[in-house]
Structure 1
Amino acid sequence: MFTSGLQHVAAMYAGVVAPPLIVGAAVGLSGTELTFLTGASLFTAGLATFLQTLGVWKIGAKLPFVNGVTFAGVAPMLAIIDTTKDKADALPVIFGAIIVAGLLGFLAAPWFSRLVRFFPPVVTGTVITLIGISLLPVAFGWAQGPNPAADDYGSGKFLALAAVTLAIVLLLRRFTRGFLKQIAVLVGLVLGTLIAIPFGVTDFTPVTEADVVGFPSPFHFGAPQFALAAIISMCVVMLVSMTESTADMLALGEIVERPADEKTIAAGLRADTLGSAISPLFNGFMCSAFAQNVGLVAMTRIRSRFVVACGGGILVLMGLSPMMASLISVVPRPVLGGAGVVLFGSVAASGIQTLVKAGLEKDNNVLIVAVSLAVGIIPITKPDFYHAFPQTAQIILDSGISTGCVAAVLLNVVFNHFGRRADDDEVTAPMEPGDEISETRTAKAAHVH
């Protein structure tokens, strides 16, 4: 049980520590504070996993379901940081917004479980793709070096370290099997760090200064602050997170041969949202399902929820040891950048896989994806696009995930729900030789909701 639980931790570890590293670096935290934030995320991920697997009352799907920090919240949190004048207030504002979003999501869970039809693959696939695309620039920035103001930023040695780390991960994924293949990213980070030592870019100070045992003291970065724009932004993220979790519960239910009904989905969403509301108390972020662990259950055929609960216990223990949590802060930014290309790119690829099931042979769905992706990519390609808008509005608009999600949901409602006609399900087929130009052949498309 311990070994199988450790494998789940290995599969999700890089995904759990990446968001606090990104957010902490944006705030300008020191190595020690970054270690603390990382440990807090591990600790709260363990608590959320306990809630989901073991369950309390009507809280928890009681499936082998791993919870951790969601990637969907990273871009909106960076937008909040950018629009906060005093960076010291950024984390309290983020934590306050997550608490409110978590509590509102908890109350809305029973109703949300009935609204799944408004979040078909064409919406969820678009959003997941945007999550990966939004995070890739972070990996590229890491690959260029630790300090953007330094003269050697973007130099060959940093890019080489990133490339070597990427190559290690790819080779491990290609030529190994089982446990080693699942922890390819983790092994790549370790080997990349060792290779980086002669280059003088590895700092072991956080490990030597960290305590062996420590507790993530509540509100370490200050009491939560409640800003309306930040709350709205994180509520949108909560909707995205609940959508992802619902899709994962449906998939996992099929894998373990216990189909997730409306009651199970509602209980699972309560665990997600309550875990998110509690997480900021211990300086953690919004929690959601980890799709890579769903794949691990399918691959290993180990379907026991208690195995995953054991993994949650390991996460809690890691969060209670600053020395263990600090190990990730030793990894040089270029090495993280190389691994991040795989990690964040995999998120985008997962979204594309979902879009494949979205019925893109329908013109309506193609338009939904095209426009939603375009709206979501605006803040990435033109960061100052919304500079003339009020600062509170920029927190939401500067998050491509939030704007892309809203656009996808609204367009899906307009094209696939309101005023539907019988011929909406017909698509134009390619013209064959001999067909008259004025004639159009139609083929029935799959009815996608």
Structure 2
Amino acid sequence: MAQDSTQRLTEPEAAVLGIQHLLAMYSGSILVPILIGASLHFSSEQMTYLVSIDIFMCGVATALQIFANKFFGIGLPVILGCAVQAVAPLILIGKKFDFPTMYGAIIAAGIFVFLIAGLFAKIRNLFPPLVTGTVITVIGLSLIPVAFQNLGGGTTTAKNYGDMQNLLVGVFTLLVILVINAWGKGFVRSIAILIGLVGGTLLAGAMGMVSLAPVAEASWFHVPTPFYFGVPHFEWSSIVTMILISMVSMVESTGVFFALGDIVGREIKSDDLKRGYRAEGLAVMLGGIFNTFPYTTFSQNVGLVQLSGIKSRKPVIYSAFFLILLGLLPKIGALATIIPSPVLGGAMVVMFGMVAVQGIRMLGEVDFHNDHNLLVAAISIGLGLGVTVQPDIVQWLPKTVQMFASSGILMASVSAVLLNWLFGLGHKQA
């Protein structure tokens, strides 16, 4: 394993870096319960539970993954959050059936992931640098539009979307991060993202863009309650849907594991993948039991690890602790929600761009003088970005098929794996 340059981190330094990791994933994670809760018309009390316990479970899921043992956990500096790809299917299940059916499907999917972890890990040879580099590149590039949407104000339907005020604080945040990286040294440079978020929020506050109302309205303490929305109901079509979504998450997680392994200088083996998948399966099961959502490895934190140069797990251990604490203390947790969307967008441009560049760096190991490799990457990236930019192209397909065909990451993953396998098979036959 490569030398860890962060072994001499002090506890306060690790804690601050942990906060940076938390802030990088916080908005993306709470977006899932907000979207699902709003679509299914949850009450304000239910929404309070949903958001706070979601953050609590993010910490538990991260702990399961990072405290590796011989049964589960990959032991890399990973953060787990709500799987964004689960939003649309969960809304469909919730509307067609009810909340218990939705959570029954999540629990069943978690059991499935846990049980097939060993089998899925054995097919890791289907993910050479050509495939993983392509997938990671598409993950990064497909997230850039999300960054720009936040940069403009969060939603294109907002009246002030793209106005000078939003752009100013977003660009200011980005510039602060660049300046710190260009002229900062040591620990200060490693927390450039956090400094950018704080600086951008202070500027936004001076311009009247920050509201403390979420903090005032939040309660002080909240207790996790199993089966908060009732005893789970297991319905086969809902279960199959969530199993397929979970397999998509496993493919994404595979790419993230390999990307992080490349960054920290650790070879990722089948046993590592198996333990990583099992930890995610346990996290998904617990999400269903405590009535939150499926959890998966967050790719945006890969860019943060790369950018900060901090490869130690210690900051992520602090992140897990802080997430659990914030989930129990909604009023404190609400502090992170006051960061305006343009500020987050400015930071996201840097982080998501770093994810894409990490994928490109992995592709640098590939021999592109080989036309087969060139075609695999070209077609897969083209398909992945194509459906990301134009998801309506599959609107005439059955709803279930649309769910998968409109996912750029899934399309790129399936394309890269199949084309690489087919070209490899043809090469052997020749």
TM interval, shorter chain, is: 0.7 to 0.9
Quick check: 1:17–1:41 contact (8 Å CA) kept in 2?
no
Other-structure match for 1:207 = 215
Residue 140 to residue 171, structure 1, CA distance change in 2 (3 Å): same
| 2:78 partner letter | V
Deviation at 1:228, TM superposition (A): 5.6
Q: Which amino acid aligns with 1:420?
A: H
Range with bigger deviation, 12-21 or 95-104: 95-104
Instruction: Report what 1:247 is aligned to.
Output: 258
Letter in 2 for 1:263: D
Q: Which residue in 2 is equivalent to 1:331?
A: 339
- Aligned partner (choices 134, 139, 145) of residue 153 of structure 2: 145
Percent of pairs with identical residues: 32
Q: Distance in 2 between matches of 1:306 and 1:159?
A: 35
SS at match of 2:220: coil
CA distance in 2, matches of 1:421, 1:23: 45
Cα RMSD (Å) of the superposition?
3.6
Q: 2:27·2:337 contact (CA, 8 Å) conserved in 1?
A: no
Question: How far off is 1:77 after superposition?
Answer: 3.4
Is the CA contact (8 Å cut-off) linking 2:79 and 2:316 kept in structure 1? no
Deviation at 1:194, TM superposition (A): 1.6
Corresponding residue for residue 434 of structure 1: none
Q: CA deviation at 1:252?
A: 7.5
Q: Which residue of 2 aligns with 1:69?
A: 81
Instruction: Tell me how far 1:410 sits from its aligned partner.
Output: 0.8
Partner residue, 2:426? 419
- Please say which of residues 84-93 and 404-413 is displaced more in the overlay: 84-93
Identify unmatched segments of 5+ residues in structure 1.
424-449
User: What secondary structure sits across from 1:287 in the alignment?
Assistant: strand
> How far does the alpha carbon of each residue in 1:190-248 deviate from its partner, in whole angstroms, 9 at most, with x for none?
22122112433221111111223323444567768862674254133233134135425
Q: Structure 1 residue 48 and structure 2 residue 56: aligned?
A: no
Give the direction of change, closer, same or farther, for the CA distance of 1:310–1:380 in structure 2 (3 Å limit). closer
Larger deviation, residues 407-416 vs 220-229: 220-229
Say whether residues 1:186 and 2:194 are aligned partners: yes
> Helix, strand or coil: the match of 1:69?
strand
Whether contact under 8 Å (1:65, 1:293) holds in the other structure is no
Q: 1:341 aligns with which of 329, 349, 354?
A: 349
**3-state SS of paired residue (1:200):** coil
- For residues 32 and 187 of structure 1, the distance between their equivalents in structure 2, rounded to whole angstroms, comes to 34
Q: Which runs of 5+ in 2 are unaligned?
A: 1-9
Q: CA deviation at 1:375?
A: 1.3
**In 2, distance between residues paired with 1:406 and 1:266?**
20
**CA separation of 1:394 and 1:321: change in aligned 2, threshold 3 A:** same
Question: Larger deviation: 242-251 or 338-347?
Answer: 242-251
Residue 402 of structure 1 corresponds to which residue in structure 2? 410
Separation (CA, whole Å) in 1 of partners of 2:176 and 2:212: 22
CA distance in 2, matches of 1:152, 1:9: 33
Partner Cα separation in structure 1 for residue 76 and residue 397 of structure 2: 44
The C-alpha deviation readout for 1:163-191, integer Å capped at 9, x for no partner, is: 11211222222222333323222222222
TM-score (norm 1): 0.78
CA contact (8 A) 1:378 1:385 kept: no
Structure 1 CA distance for aligned equivalents of residues 294 and 182 of structure 2: 33
Letter in 2 for 1:19: G
TM-score, with normalisation over the residues of structure 2? 0.81
2:394 corresponds to: 386
Per-residue CA distance 1:272-298 (angstroms, 9 max, x = gap): 33223323434244232753576599x
If you compute each CA radius of gyration, which structure gives the higher value, 1 or 2? 1
Higher helix share: 2
